[in-house]
Amino acid sequence: MRRMRVTVTGRVQAVGYRYFSRAVAAPLQLSGYVKNQHDGSVLLEAQGPENQLRTFLQELQKGPRLAWVESLDVQWIEPIAGEEGFAIQH
């Protein structure tokens, strides 16, 4: 079990990026959250098996149809015990 914190930059707000990331995380059985940042980036944390997290990263790089992803800044952090589901935070 691993956990990552990802900051996504580019045109990633007001294009459905948070909903896209939740839709991708669900079938991969990842837990965590996603939220918009004041600087126009999107911050997310995701937790699960490393191979599923790497698949998730590939999809995050693509983004939804209207998004343009400039970069993904990935940090590996300590997992959180007992976390369930992948939430959109406001």
Specify whether 18 is catalytic. yes
Q: What is the Cα–Cα distance from 47 to 25, expressed in whole angstroms?
A: 10
Considering 5, 18, 51, 54, which one is annotated as catalytic? 18
Among this protein's residues, is 54 annotated catalytic? no
Q: How far apart are CA 21 and CA 18, in angstroms?
A: 5
Active-site residue, selected from the candidate residues 2, 5, 36, 65: 36
**To which residue do tokens 């698949």 refer?**
55
Residues whose CB falls within 8 Å of the CB of residue 65, separated by 6 or more in sequence, listed in order: none
DSSP at 29 = T
Catalytic residue IDs: 18, 36
